[in-house]
Structure 1
Amino acid sequence: MTTPAPSALDNARAAAGPAPAHQGYRAYGYLEPGVDYQHFDLAAEVGRVPAYDGGLSPEEAHRVVRIMRDEIVISLHEHAIVLPEDEASIRRYNRTGRQRTGYEGLAHSGLTAVVDNFMAGASCVTSQHGWKWDDMIYALGFRLADLAKQDYVVHATSVQDILDAKANGRLALVAGFECSTMIENELDRLDMLYGFGVRQLGIAYSQSNMLGSGLAEKGDAGLTAFGRRAVARMNKLGMLIDISHSGDRTSLDVIEQSEVPVMITHAGARAVWPIPRLKPDEVIIACAERGGLIGLEAAPHTTLSPDHPVHTLESVMDHFQYCVDLVGIDHVTFGPDTMFGDHVAVHRTYAGNYAQKEEGRLDHPQVEYVDGLENPGESFWNITGWLVRHGYSDDEITKVLGGNTLRVLNQVW
C-alpha cells in the first residue's frame, strides 16, 4: 500500500517538533515492568492511524502552528492514557488500576492543558462494575504518583498552574472524574477528592446514583435532595461540575441549583443527531445562559450528523457550528473524549457495563476510529486547521480553543 504524501499541516508540525520539555519519560519509568507492576504491550501513541488531511495550504498550516504555539489550548475532556494493543487485554489492564499516561503523545498535542478523566469508571479493580471509591483512589493515586516522577506534565489545581505551564513549556493536567457515584451518601468525600487534587466532577454517569439521574434511565426525577447538597458543597470547594452524562431533568436542575456556571464537558447537540447521549437545545441554552459551556466530543458513533453520518472531524464540526449558532461562540469549546489506542474497542469491552438507552438510535456506518479526532495528540491540530480553513478569526479560534474555558474556570475555582 502506498503511503500518502505528508500534508501541509504534517510538514508544519514536523518543523515545530514535540514539546522540548518532554525528555522521553515513559509511564512508571521509575519502576521495573514485570517486577513492580504487570506489563502490557501498549498501542502506539503517535502514528497509530493515518494522519488526517485537512486540505490546508502551506500558509494555513503555518497559521495553525502559530495559533497552537501562542495561545492557551485546553481540552475540556480526555482520557490521556495509553491502551493495550490487544483488545482482549483492555479489561485486565484497567483492573490493575495502573493506567499509563501518554506522555509521548501529549508532547505532540500542542495542548496547554487537558482535563483528564482517568477512565476510573472502567478500572473495575474491586468488582466487575465501575465507580467504586477504592477503584477511584487506585486510578487517581497511581497516576498522580507517576506524574510526580517527571517534570513535563504538571498536576494543575488552579488557573495559575495552567498559565504557568504555558509560560514554562509544560502541559497542565487537571484531574477529573465523570461521575459522583463513588461518594455514595458521604458528602465529605467531595472534600477528600478536592484534597487529593480533583477539580472537576460529573453528577451521574448514565446510570442514576444518590445525586440524580443518568441519561440511560427511562425516567428522570431530577436532582435529589442529597444532590442539591452535593452541588452546594462543590460550589463551596470550587470544583467544576459536569453534566455530560446526566439526564435532561437532572442537568437542568444542576444548572439552576449551582451558584456558578457548570459545563457540559463532552457532548453534542441532539437536534443534529437525535440520540439520548447528546444534549437537547433546552439544556445547552440553559447552561449557556448561566455562563457555562458545551465541549464538543468525538467518542465513536456519538456526534454524527445527517450530512456526515460516517463519524469524522466533519461530523463533530457540524455540532460545533450548530451550537455556535444556538448559544454563541463564547459558550462553545471542545472536549473530544479520546485516548491513545483503540477507542472503539473500549466501547465493545464495556458495552454491558454502561448501556445507553436504545430509543432513537439511528443506523449509521461503523468506523474503526474517528478520522481527525483519533487521540489527544492529534485532535486540536485538526480542529484548529478546520477553523482556519473555514474562515474563523484568530480571536474566535482563541476563544473556542481555551479562552472560554479559562473564563469559566476563573469563576468556578
Structure 2
Amino acid sequence: MVLSFAMKKLIIALGVLVLIYLAATLIVPPYIESQRNPVKSSPPYSVSSDAQALYERLDFISDLHCDALLWGRDLTQRGSRGQVDFPRMREANVALEMFTIVSKSPAGQNMQSNSSDAFDNITPLTIAKGESPSNWFSLINRTLSQSQNLADFIQDEDGNAIFVKNKADLNKLISARKNDESVIGGMLGIEGAHALEGDIENLNRVYEAGVRMIGLTHFFDNELGGSAHGQSQAGLTEFGKSVVQKMNELGIFVDLAHCSPAIVDDVLEMTTMPVMVSHTGVRAVLDSQRNLSDLQIQKIAENGGIIGIAFFDEAVGVPELPNIIASIKHVRDLVGIEYVALGSDYDGSVAVPFDITGFPLLVEGMMNAGFSEAEIKAIMGENVKRFFLTNLR
C-alpha cells in the first residue's frame, strides 16, 4: 500500500502532536505545582535543643489534610517541589497523613463567592498529567483514580506504609511503629462531594476505594448544598441529607471545612457520628467566612468532633506561625485541648511557611506560648489518634 503525500503529512503531523503532548505531560504539571504550592522558608529548619528534644519524644504525629495526590508526583520518592511525600513524612516522624482528593476547583478560587459553573482548573491539569481520557471530564473517575494512586504508593512500600481504613489498620500502624518508626500511615478523604456527581451509589464506590472522610462542599455550591464560598449559602438539600445519613451508616466522617454555616448547623443537628473540620482557621484570629465562629467551635466540641488548624495565610493570617499557634490556643481556651489538631492543607494550592519537615517549628512555637508537653503531644497527633481509635470502625 502506497500512502499519498497528504496522508504522509497527516501522519507526521499527528506524530508531532503526540510528541508535543508527551513532552507537555513531563513539563507542565511540575511547573504548575511549583507555582501553586510554594514554601516560603525552605528546609532544613532549626529549633532550640529543648524544642527538638520534645519533638523527638512525640509518640504519634498526624496531619488531617494534604492534597498531594492531585499533582501526579510519585509520593514514594522525595520531591524537589511540593510540601509532602513519604520520605519527608519519615524525616518529620509523621505517623499518619490524611490525603485528600481534589476533583474540581473553580478559576479564581476566592474566599468570597464562586460560581459552580466557573471554569474548572483541574480539567486542564488532568489532561496535562497524561491521565486516561476517562478522567478528563468525569469527577468520580478522577476521584477513584487518585484513590488508586494512594493504594499503589502504599503497596510499593512493601509493608512500610499502611492504608488506614478501619480501627484494625490503625492499631496495626501503632503497633508497627513501636518497633520501626519508618512505618507510616495514610488515610483517604475527598474535598468536595461534587465528586459523587449527584449519585448516592458513588458513595459506595468511594468507600470501597478506601475513602473515610468527605468534605461536603469545596469552593462552590453543589448537589448537597451551599459552600462557605458559594452563591447560595444554603443548607443541606434533601440529597445532601441522604448522603450524610449514608455516610453515617458506612462510617465515613463528615468534614465541615468549606461548608456554609447553614450546612454546619444542619449536619450537627442530624449526624450520628462526630464530625471533622480537616483544615480551617478561627474567626477570633482571622475574621473570614472561611473560618469557624466561636459558636460553631462549641457545637463541634459538643458533638465530639475534631478541628484541624490550617497553615496558610487566608486561614490564619500573617505571619503564619504565630497565628497558627494563636488559633490552636483559641480553640483550647474555648472548648478544651482535646478538640484541636493539625490540618495543614499542604499541597492544596497554598503558600505555606514550611513544609512537613518543619513541624518542629510548631513545637517550639507552642513551647514559647506556654503550652505544656501534654498539650503539645495532644495537638501534634494524640488527639487524632484518640479520635480515630474511638470512632473508626
Instruction: Please indicate, yes or no, whether the TM-score normalized by the shorter chain is above 0.5.
Output: yes
Tell me which amino acid in the other structure corresponds to 2:26: H
Aligned counterpart for 1:324 among listed residues 312, 332, 335:
332
Query: Does 43-52 or 147-156 show the bigger shift?
Result: 43-52
The one-character-per-residue Cα deviations of 1:137-174 (angstroms, maximum 9, x if unpaired) are: 22222332233222333211123323422334311000
**Cα distance, 1:384 vs structure 2:** 2.0
Q: CA separation in 1, counterparts of 2:254 and 2:54? A: 34
Structure 1 residues 106-115 or 403-412, which shifts more? 403-412
Match of 2:154 among 143, 147, 158: 147
Specify the alignment match of 1:273 in structure 2: 286
**Aligned counterpart in structure 1 of residue 381 of structure 2, from 374, 380, 402:** 402
CA positional deviation for 1:299:
2.7
CA contact (8 A) 2:165 2:210 kept: yes
Deviation at 1:48, TM superposition (A): 8.5
Q: 2:366 aligns with which of 387, 390, 404?
A: 387
2:50 to 59, 63, 66: 59
Q: Whose helix fraction is larger, Structure 1's or Structure 2's?
A: 2
Summarize the alignment of residues 9-158 of structure 1 with structure 2, pairs less than 5 Å apart: 38-40=25-27, 49-51=41-43, 56-67=47-58, 71-80=59-68, 98-101=72-75, 102-121=85-104, 123-124=122-123, 125=126, 132-151=139-158, 152-158=160-166
- Whole-Å Cα distance in 1 between the matches of residues 205 and 164 of structure 2? 17
Contact kept, 8 Å, 1:80 with 1:376, in 2: the verdict is: no
Q: Number of aligned pairs?
A: 328
Matches within 5 A, 1:194-213: 194-213=207-226
User: Alpha carbons of 1:221 and 1:73: their partners in 2 closer, same or farther (altered >3 Å)?
Assistant: same
| TM-score normalized by the length of structure 1 | 0.71
Q: Pick closer, same or farther for the CA change 1:381–1:118 going to 2, 3 Å.
A: farther
1:160 aligns with 2:168: yes
Per-residue displacement from partner, 1:202-259 (whole Å, max 9, x unpaired)? 1111211111211112432211111111111111111111010111111111122110
Say which SS state the counterpart of residue 356 (structure 2) adopts. Answer: coil
The CA deviation string for residues 356-390 of structure 1, in whole angstroms up to 9 with x for no partner, is xxxxxxxxxxxxx433xx22332x32222222333
Q: Is the 8 A contact 2:298 2:334 kept in 1?
A: yes
TM-score (normalizing by structure 2): 0.75
> Take 2:324 and 2:379, find their aligned partners in 1: how far apart are those partners?
14
- Give yes or no for contact 1:313–1:370 (8 Å, CA) kept in 2: no
| Structure-2 change in CA distance of 1:163 and 1:243 (3 Å) | same
Structure 2 counterpart of 1:50, which letter? Answer: S
Gaps (5+ residues) in structure 2?
A: 1-20, 76-84, 106-121, 127-132
Report the CA distance between 1:201 and its aligned residue: 0.8
Partner of 1:370: 352
For the residues of structure 2 that align with 1:271 and 1:104, how far apart are their CA atoms?
36
Find the aligned partners of 1:201 and 1:173 in 2 and give their Cα distance.
Answer: 15
**Aligned residues of 2:63 and 2:342 also touching (Cα < 8 A):** yes
Structure 1 counterpart of 2:114:
none
RMSD: 3.1
